[in-house]
Structure 1
């Protein structure tokens, strides 16, 4: 082995899986390099259960939770405990990995959240690659947080009046946007929480990174990409990740369909079904579940709904029994989302607007109805509606029968302009990951940075 790359993952949500995906791609391209992958034990156990890769080494770090700790239900409680020990634990882990391999770390590939990696890289004069797991629009909001806060000064102090008023030039490269559509922690929310402080520090530090790859494709946000490329070193769109494996195999990845979602869709009319899923973390409050369920039933909209089983108790009385008898709907605890979205029967995706879901919907050419909750979901949903024109946000921000029925009527109206837009973006997404496509070319640049094949001007 001639190179030693240390990989730091933020161990929550979809971050570990995405960074391991990137690590595997890099490891396959650089077989003579060794990659030390640092993560908390619980997350690593899931990631490495069926992984076999000779040049990726697993390292577990502490999650910061004391043995006798009792959770009290505070927001991001586990995340805050981890952040308190993250830098110390990762520095310690690097020393162990260097002793194990006999190689000094030659590059840091880390979740962009970890701005302390800039100091670690400077201390040893090595490249620092900061991987952003989401889109260019949300990254731009964090990069320009200080400028945004200056323009929205009254809101920063805890006010909410004016948060729904559009402001021009709030984010360079984007159309006028409402402060309420910005990611949590930029101007609204608890700006003094450890998570918000981490994001703010990230935004002020990213210009020091040797490269900033993101899970997107540059044709999706050309104006934002151009602006970020002028502010960051080697700003590289290298996604969508979920399409890359398909391009390599030239065949769809077949996933388990334990709950017969695909066979149910096979019996539905083309572009008639609403697929509903809010990810594995988020669920609308009980009263919204009732409103959404009643709107589906009263409008007779065929639907496939993936939701955790403990939420079934919140559905209207007899709802599950009635849809089963009528055959108009199917509720499951899990669905093979990419396969579902690419099924000819699916006509709309009702989603929380998480970045992975947005990319999967774009890659499948399916319009969206967005109900965002936190984080980048708000700005992603705004982009879906206002910038890309490939869907809509639920009116008022919450599910009501009226807003839901209006959203379905709008999406199923077969808008020629909207359908042309999403088909065009779908084609661009697929082309980006083909050989010599924009994302493929950007990934080659990233490999050069990580392996040292590219002359780097901003290594400390």
Structure 2
């Protein structure tokens, strides 16, 4: 790289470090990235001369949904304001929000995304804000291409627990064959270095133990394999920000720090006071109505049920959830998205609503709901964002995992933290009504286990509060990350600008 081009990537705008946070275009990646950007903007650089700069970059399709009033949001257009955050788009050449199919289309979209992100980096430099470090949310191979080609330091924002980071790391560092050879045995235990307990096959992230041979699993594993190869090759130039905190996963974090430059910066969760992005239609949601309803319920009496922003209910699953809520006999708040809802699911919901024992909504402000004193437990798919919100807000969990990191998260909740119970799906992958009711009673009843869960939940809530406090571990770790990036960048620029003496 030429000296002039390399110097483009040093600090600009008064010498302040500038982090380009590149987010995968789905809600579970987008919201943590936005919160991380806000936290970076609250910091000052190493010498205290000014605030850190942070720019959020998202796929063009996502950008259009975030800012529907800003026109078509072309990548070369002006930056959009997301509160204090500047947000820029990059294009995959298709920009319709669909997933690429087949290796040729994936390769085309990767090249287009990398070229567009190259242009974003150049445009920011031309505006006096050269990028000091690219931060990407896990599964973005084109961000690796840009970091490698432009010689820009990279940080991976690992938006899953450190335990899942450890499982992927060891899978691609000597344990893959062992795990794959026993993938058909859910009870088989694998002991990974540094973790506090063995993991059963059923506890691993779903794609690492997928026996179906499905294309999605192969693609995801290939992306993660490339990510860890990149981190091995660029060890001195790559850092990992993990959305967890030291008191929650001390063993996993300590184990990973032996192999990677890891910073625990969590819990990176938004507060109810922060507006969140929702990439689906919830125009008909009535926040006042459901919050008033919650206010009329007794303390710790409500069963809150939500399975995240991706998962949709089949008719059979909806019938089982309705049956389980009837069996519980407790007030409930059930979230079922309107978009993509099947007609037979809608008819089932009408029957549930008519019983008048709870409330069904198409959307809710989850942090605010979980903060409400009437909520007694959270029935969830166990995505990491929802898991962290439950931990941070002190709500017992009924976990019904199905894919991605969810099985590992459910294991941690039940066995590592005793902050809830894991529900079992039947042979058809359905979370049955009787099983839902059994799990709810275990965490909301008067038995010894419910009492223990409530104690553990309060303990984890205190840990999370301490971790997120001003000047607390999360802020200190994030500040250390910024200082290391800035120090490394200054050393690189000094080395680049050094003129060798004549012989």
Note whether the superposition's TM-score is higher than 0.5. Answer: yes
Question: 1:355 aligned to 361, 384, 391, which one?
Answer: 384
Alpha-carbon distance in structure 1 between the residues aligned to 2:60 and 2:67: 10
Alpha-carbon distance in structure 1 between the residues aligned to 2:356 and 2:135: 49
Contact persistence 1:347–1:412 (CA under 8 A)? yes
Question: 2:36 aligned to 22, 27, 50, which one?
Answer: 22
1:419 aligns with 2:454: yes
Q: Following superposition of structure 1 onto structure 2, how do residues 61-140 of structure 1 map, counting pairs within 5 Å?
A: 61-65=90-94, 82-83=109-110, 85-98=112-125, 100-102=126-128, 104-114=130-140, 117=143, 120-121=146-147, 125-140=151-166
Contact persistence 1:9–1:39 (CA under 8 A)? yes
Tell me how far 1:13 sits from its aligned partner.
Answer: 3.2
1:141 aligns with 2:167: yes
Alpha-carbon distance in structure 2 between the residues aligned to 1:262 and 1:184: 35
1:368 aligned residue = 397
Contact persistence 2:114–2:142 (CA under 8 A)? yes
1:214 aligned residue = 242
Instruction: Please give the per-residue CA displacement for 1:199-230, whole angstroms capped at 9, x wherever unaligned.
Output: 12223333525321122212111110111112
Alpha-carbon distance in structure 2 between the residues aligned to 1:231 and 1:221: 16
1:38 aligned residue = 57
Alpha-carbon distance in structure 1 between the residues aligned to 2:348 and 2:470: 52
2:267 aligned residue = 240
Alpha-carbon distance in structure 2 between the residues aligned to 1:272 and 1:346: 6
2:315 aligned residue = 286
Q: Following superposition of structure 1 onto structure 2, how do residues 49-448 of structure 1 map, counting pairs within 5 Å?
A: 52=81, 57-65=86-94, 82-83=109-110, 85-98=112-125, 100-102=126-128, 104-114=130-140, 117=143, 120-121=146-147, 125-146=151-172, 147-155=174-182, 161-162=184-185, 164-170=186-192, 172-188=194-210, 190=214, 193-207=218-232, 208=235, 209-233=237-261, 235-242=262-269, 258=287, 260-309=289-338, 311=341, 313-315=343-345, 320-321=350-351, 323-324=353-354, 326-396=355-425, 398-414=430-446, 415-448=450-483
2:280 aligned residue = none
Question: 1:8 aligned to 7, 22, 37, which one?
Answer: 22
Tell me how far 1:53 sits from its aligned partner.
Answer: 7.0
Instruction: Please give the per-residue CA displacement for 1:282-305, whole angstroms capped at 9, x wherever unaligned.
Output: 123221210110121233221100
More deviation, 389-398/101-110: 101-110
Q: Would the alpha carbon gap of residues 66 and 368 (structure 1) be closer, same or farther in structure 2, given more than 3 Å must change?
A: closer
Please list every run of 5 or more consecutive structure 2 residues that lacks an aligned counterpart in the other structure: 1-12, 45-49, 70-79, 277-284, 497-503
Q: Secondary structure at the match of 2:326?
A: helix
What's the TM-score, normalizing by structure 2? Answer: 0.77
Q: Secondary structure at the match of 2:244?
A: coil
Tell me how far 1:307 sits from its aligned partner.
Answer: 0.6
Instruction: Please give the per-residue CA displacement for 1:372-405, whole angstroms capped at 9, x wherever unaligned.
Output: 2221112111211121111122123531122122
Instruction: Please give the per-residue CA displacement for 1:161-182, whole angstroms capped at 9, x wherever unaligned.
Output: 31x1131414631412222321
Instruction: Please give the per-residue CA displacement for 1:237-273, whole angstroms capped at 9, x wherever unaligned.
Output: 1122226x58xxxxx5699953611111111122111
Contact persistence 1:35–1:55 (CA under 8 A)? no
Contact persistence 1:166–1:176 (CA under 8 A)? no
More deviation, 429-438/195-204: 195-204
Aligned residues: 443
Tell me how far 1:451 sits from its aligned partner.
Answer: 3.7
Alpha-carbon distance in structure 1 between the residues aligned to 2:382 and 2:227: 23
More deviation, 187-196/50-59: 50-59
Q: Secondary structure at the match of 1:447?
A: helix
Q: Secondary structure at the match of 1:29?
A: coil
